[in-house]
Amino acid sequence: MTMQIDRPQPQRHRRRRPWLVVGVALLAVGLTVLAAIGWSVWRDDVTMQRAQQVAGAQLQQRWSVPDDGSALQYGDPVAKITIPRFGADWSYTVLEGTGQDILAEGPGHYPGTADPGQFGNFALAGHRVGHDGVFDDAAELQPCDPIIVETRTQVLTYRMLPSPGEASGTCSTPPTSVPGREIVTPDADRVLWPVPNTTATTKPDLALITLTTCHPRFSARQRLIIHGVLTNVRQKTASSS
């Protein structure tokens, strides 16, 4: 009986496909980037939520004591804003200032523009994406949509204005040359004037609101501007404040 010896078979060399290696590497990089973006967005959302809780409590505390007439300081809570078009639970405390540290915590009020309800332009800034993107859906606003601002003593309802050639919606707004929507360059401070797009010294005869945010999404190349006009003022009772 003879013994059969198994001889090793010659191995076949497999060629590595460069495109496969590159594809796997790119996929790994992509997943890492997505994870980092997801973590950043989650962190920013949590940061804003916590900051909003603090700002809301500070605003309620301010309203619970008599107004001493002191001027608002940078970072102070100003008012509450609610925009139904953005969802039933969309409500934020507006802070004084528009620095990046402020906008990471919520919408900010441009210092020097009008106070809520005053003749002139109550102008606000907010992120569109990231940092919870408070004005992320600004492009969805339609003429006549309400923008509700609550102060110590009043609930103010502004309505988005129509733009030239655009239907005015279901409400009646005072006649004005101010468009409801425009896209401008970042240095177009004329949108913040007491009467936007006129002159910085034009005397206002209406109470306006302006929302500013980046445009297009994921870019700071331009600014999307929404203008509204005050159409209703409701006095708050002691129990509602």
Taking only the tens place, the pLDDT of each residue in 129-162 is 865 789 999 999 999 999 999 999 999 999 999 9
* Those residues with Cβ within 8 angstroms of residue 130's Cβ, 6 or more apart along the chain or in another chain: 40, 41, 44
Fold classification of 29-64+76-235 (topology level): Sortase; Chain: A; (2.40.260)
Confidence of residue 98 (pLDDT cuts 50, 70, 90): very high
Strand 120-125 to 146-150 pairing: unpaired
**Where do runs of H (alpha helix) occur along the chain?**
18-63, 100-103
Measured CA to CA, the distance from residue 74 to residue 72 in angstroms comes to: 7
Tokens of residue 87, six digits: 């969802």
pTM above 0.85, yes or no: no
Give the C-alpha separation, 203 to 196, whole Å. 11
**Which residues sit opposite 171 in a β-bridge?**
none
Q: Worst-scoring range by mean pLDDT, 24-28, 58-62, 124-128, 232-236?
A: 24-28
**Tokens representing residue 189 in the block:** 């401070």
pLDDT of residue 10: 53
CB 103 within 8 A of CB 131: yes
Domain ranges of the chain: 29-64+76-235
Give residue 189's identity as a one-letter amino acid code. Answer: D
